[in-house]
């Protein structure tokens, strides 16, 4: 799955707390190479990295066009990086001392604990039916999705994989997957067999012949969003599982002469769908250049350059990833910063890159962002070629030493600043309260300010209230302070 759903704030806070520090963990705003401990001055990769995913084992899986990652002759097109040991290794081999793949790997996903990879390769690990898609058993490669068929189910490249519940969605350039007439460009695997993602009784695929699906985003309820192309036309479409129908977003599914969309991301509720690519004025929105958001009724850009156009001077937006409540955007562009930036919901945040080239894929893990692409000397490090790690900022830690004093229909609070601002200054404190025994917290409207005191007024005399304070920076709202109980006078 190229674009996992955003972490809830509580989960992100845990990840930030437990992410281990290693020699490859850079300081906030800095870059570090992912070199091996045995060869710290030698680049681990020399060719394009296309994508990365974090495995359930905590390791970083990397795919692309490269050979011999970290000096391992079996790490061709797919390699594994261990942040704790700073080691690289391949998975399996071709039996002749090289890697299991003879062509590039484009996508990876974990389906019920099994690593599934897609790309443009044949006979992965020597398995005759493992063309363009293969599964790793832990010791060997197999064609997990070829049940009941003597031939590979995929006759052309697999570009993207996405998991939602018990469903694995496969998108690419293929036709008639697993001999299904409607198995063109996208199909679904339920652990037993492949099925189409098409209207009921469709004789052919859901899109026009020759369509390539480049990326898929999904929510837990089974809704899908895809981007791709058919010749000079761009595909941006949504699948409604209830109606079993595909539709465009505010227009036809295929758009002509509008540029191309390469990546799609969706928030947890499916209320904000964002696409990235090489386009201008998507959906007629003047600020929708390179990145555009669909809110269910209309397209819009994310901010602007102050002159009526989009904030990004775009060559290409290649990847979108959620990090907490912020959307990370990577590619080949200038604007808030070069090739890498973040949208926090109201403004762009600059993130430093210092290398000519393009970022193809990014992966946030705790406060480390792994970035891969076609570049050299990232951040001024001579060994940071094709892949590097960046230190991410984060929401602040909890305000400290909360004190509360009751008054006439009020509670007056004071507190100390968080120990850690995590790379971005505190810009506001959120004061919350509720009657004891009730669930919803209310936010006291005291404006945006960094003063470390507040008086919650308008309370019910004699009622007991719980109070707490949270700090906010550009990267989100941090952890809560201690919760105190006071009876209003």
Please check whether residue 196 is in contact with residue 252, taking contact to mean a CB–CB distance below 8 angstroms.
no
Phi, psi of 47, rounded to the nearest 5 degrees: -125, 175
Residues 6 or more apart whose Cβ sits within 8 Å of residue 488: 406, 407, 408, 409, 410, 411, 459, 460, 461, 462, 463, 464, 465
Closest of 218, 217, 215, 238 to residue 227, by C-alpha: 215
Stated pTM of the model: 0.92
The pLDDT of residue 12: 41
What is d(CA 133, CA 440) in angstroms, rounded to the nearest whole number? 47
- Among candidate residues 126, 158, 160, the one with its CA nearest the CA of residue 142: 126
Q: Tell me the sheet residues that pair with 388.
A: 33, 371
Q: Along the 489 residues of the chain, how does pLDDT read in single tens digits?
A: 444 333 334 434 433 433 433 446 799 999 999 988 777 767 888 899 999 999 999 999 999 999 999 999 999 999 999 999 999 999 999 989 999 999 999 999 999 999 999 999 999 999 988 999 999 999 999 987 755 555 789 999 999 999 998 999 999 999 999 888 999 999 999 988 889 999 877 788 999 889 999 999 999 889 999 999 999 999 999 999 999 999 999 999 999 988 999 999 999 889 999 999 999 999 999 999 999 999 999 999 999 999 999 999 988 999 999 999 999 999 999 999 999 999 999 999 999 877 778 999 999 999 999 999 999 999 999 899 999 999 999 999 999 999 999 999 999 999 999 999 999 999 999 999 999 989 899 999 999 999 999 999 999 999 999 999 999 999 999 999 999 999 999
Longest CA span, the chain:
82
Q: State the pLDDT at residue 179.
A: 87
What pLDDT sits at residue 23?
Answer: 45
CA distances from 254 to 169, 212, 213, 247, 301 (A): 21, 12, 12, 10, 20
- What is the predicted pLDDT for the residue at 22? 45
Contact status, residue 91 vs residue 67, Cβ threshold 8 Å? no
What is the C-alpha separation between 26 and 19, in angstroms, rounded? 12
pLDDT reported for residue 25: 78
Query: What order do you get walking across the sheet with 368-375 strand by strand?
Result: 31-33, 387-391, 368-375, 357-365
Spell 365-384 as b/e; 16+ CB within 10 A means b.
bbbbbbbbbbbebbbebebb
Q: Of 122, 95, 4, which is closest to residue 56 (Cα–Cα)? A: 4
In the prediction, which pLDDT does 278 show?
97
* Beta carbons of 332 and 339 less than 8 angstroms apart: yes
Q: How far is CA 98 from CA 71, 75, 91, in A?
A: 11, 8, 10
Give pLDDT, residue 24: 61
Q: How far is CA 413 from the centre of its chain?
A: 38
Rounded-to-integer distance, Cα 61 and Cα 55, Å:
7
């Amino acid at each position: 799955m190229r674009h996992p759903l955003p972490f809830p704030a509580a989960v992100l806070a845990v990840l930030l707390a437990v992410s281990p520090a290693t020699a490859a963990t850079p300081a906030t705003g800095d870059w570090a190479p992912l070199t091996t401990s045995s060869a710290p001055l030698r680049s681990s990769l020399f060719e394009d990295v296309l994508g990365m995913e974090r495995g359930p084992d905590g390791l970083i899986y990397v795919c692309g066009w490269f050979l011999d990652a970290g000096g391992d002759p079996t790490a061709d097109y797919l390699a594994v990086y261990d942040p704790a040991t700073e080691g690289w290794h391949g998975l399996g081999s071709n039996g002749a001392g090289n890697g299991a793949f003879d062509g590039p790997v484009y996508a990876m996903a974990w389906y019920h604990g099994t690593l599934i990879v897609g790309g443009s390769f044949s006979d992965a690990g020597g398995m005759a039916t493992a063309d363009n898609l293969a599964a790793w058993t832990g010791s060997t490669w197999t064609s997990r999705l070829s049940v009941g068929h003597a031939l590979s189910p995929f006759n052309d490249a697999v570009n993207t994989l996405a998991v939602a519940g018990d469903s694995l969605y496969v998108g690419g350039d293929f036709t008639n997957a697993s001999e299904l007439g409607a198995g063109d460009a996208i199909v679904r695997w339920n652990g037993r067999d492949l099925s189409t993602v098409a209207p009921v009784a469709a004789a052919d695929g859901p899109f026009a012949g020759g369509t390539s699906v480049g990326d898929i985003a999904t929510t837990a309820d089974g809704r899908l969003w895809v981007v791709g192309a058919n010749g000079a036309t761009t595909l941006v479409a949504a699948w409604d599982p209830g109606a079993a129908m595909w539709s465009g977003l505010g227009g036809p599914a295929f758009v002509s002469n509008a540029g191309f969309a390469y990546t799609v991301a969706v928030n947890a509720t499916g209320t904000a769908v964002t696409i990235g690519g090489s386009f201008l004025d998507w959906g007629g929105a003047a600020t929708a250049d390179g990145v555009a958001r669909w809110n269910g009724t209309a397209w819009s850009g994310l901010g602007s350059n102050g002159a009526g156009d989009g904030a990004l001077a775009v060559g290409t937006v290649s990847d979108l990833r959620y990090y907490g409540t912020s959307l990370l955007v990577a590619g080949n562009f200038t604007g808030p910063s070069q090739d890498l930036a973040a949208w926090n919901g109201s403004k762009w945040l600059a993130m430093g890159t210092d290398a000519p080239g393009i970022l193809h894929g990014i992966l946030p893990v705790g406060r480390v962002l792994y970035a891969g692409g076609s570049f050299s000397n990232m951040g001024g490090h001579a060994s940071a070629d094709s892949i590097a790690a960046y230190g991410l900022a984060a929401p602040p830690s909890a305000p400290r030493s909360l004190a509360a004093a009751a008054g006439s229909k009020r509670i007056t609070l004071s507190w100390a600043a968080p120990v850690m601002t995590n790379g971005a200054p505190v810009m506001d404190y959120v004061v919350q309260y509720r009657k004891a025994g009730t669930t919803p917290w209310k936010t006291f409207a005291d404006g945006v300010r960094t003063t470390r005191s507040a008086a919650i007024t308008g309370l019910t005399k004699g009622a007991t209230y719980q109070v707490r304070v949270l700090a906010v920076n550009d990267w989100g709202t941090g952890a809560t302070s201690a919760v105190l109980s006071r009876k209003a006078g």
